């Protein structure tokens, strides 16, 4: 994998997030990387190939992110807090561009793009990681349902914060989410 190639994927990742997949052209990516449009096709034959590479990159980044959280936080509850904290930390980006995973899935669904299942796999990575934490908290039978609930809540927050360009809303709703987690789990179990 050449350095130019990974540069292309990094830039495409960013532009697909900020402008959307369809609205990002080869020329846009090439301009940022500092490449001619023609040379582009040495690295990627089609736009779908770039999308595949971007999704793959995001998979790797997500795994690194989740592993990092697992290292930094030692209890399941603290790890769930890391997930919620991500929304606050990424507030400015979410306000402008929404959630990278959610907005990509939304776009691909409308395009009836064959890569949609691969994009929603990014959700699945979070889903399984969150379910793991709930399992460790003793919700074995409801772990997946709770994980999906938490994901949905975060998606709703991102969509509304994006539509209304409202960062205060993120802070308020994430506090609500943390409160919900606390009512869910008896305090004794959180440490």
Partner DNA sequence: GTCTATACCCAGATAGAC
Partner DNA sequence: GTCTATCTGGGTATAGAC
Q: Are 89 and 117 in contact (CB under 8 A)?
A: no
Closer to a second copy by Cβ: residue 27 or 152: 152
Q: Are 9 and 53 in contact (CB under 8 A)?
A: yes
Least distance from a second copy to the Cβ atom of residue 71, Å = 28
28 binds, among DNA, a second copy, none (CB under 5 to 8 A by kind): DNA
Least distance from a second copy to the Cβ atom of residue 70, Å = 23
- Of 29, 55, 129, 173, the one binding a second copy (CB under 8 A) is 173
Asked whether position 169 contacts a second copy by CB under 8 A, the answer is yes
Q: Are 55 and 21 in contact (CB under 8 A)?
A: no
- Of 65, 73, 88, 160, the one binding a second copy (CB under 8 A) is 160
Closer to DNA by Cβ: residue 22 or 63: 22
Largest Cα–Cα separation, the chain = 62
Rounded CA separation 80/101 (Å): 18
Closer to DNA by Cβ: residue 30 or 185: 30
Asked whether position 144 contacts a second copy by CB under 8 A, the answer is no
Q: Which stretch binds a second copy (CB under 8 A): 2-10, 56-64, 73-81, 156-164?
A: 156-164
Q: Compute the half-sphere exposure of residue 122: CA atoms within 13 Å on the CB side of its CA.
A: 23
Handedness of CA 81, 159, 90, 70 (dihedral sign): positive
Asked whether position 182 contacts a second copy by CB under 8 A, the answer is no
Rounded CA separation 9/15 (Å): 10
């Amino acid at each position: 994998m050449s350095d130019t190639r990974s540069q292309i994927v990094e830039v495409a990742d960013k532009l697909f997030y900020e402008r959307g997949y369809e609205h990002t052209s080869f020329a846009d990516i090439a301009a940022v990387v500092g490449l001619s449009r023609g040379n582009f096709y040495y690295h990627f034959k089609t736009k779908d190939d770039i999308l595949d590479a971007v999704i793959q990159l995001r998979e790797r980044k997500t795994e690194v992110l989740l592993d990092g959280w697992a290292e930094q936080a030692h209890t399941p509850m603290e790890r769930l807090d890391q997930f919620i904290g991500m929304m606050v930390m990424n507030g400015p980006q979410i306000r402008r561009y929404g959630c990278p995973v959610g907005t990509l899935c939304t776009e691909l669904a409308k395009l009836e793009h064959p890569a949609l299942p691969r994009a929603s796999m990014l959700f699945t990575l979070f889903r399984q990681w969150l379910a793991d934490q709930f399992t460790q908290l003793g919700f074995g039978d409801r772990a997946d349902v709770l994980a999906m609930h938490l994901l949905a809540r975060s998606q709703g927050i991102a969509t509304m914060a994006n539509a209304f360009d409202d960062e205060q809303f993120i802070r308020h709703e994430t506090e609500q989410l943390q409160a919900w987690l606390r009512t869910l789990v008896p305090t004794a179990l959180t440490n």
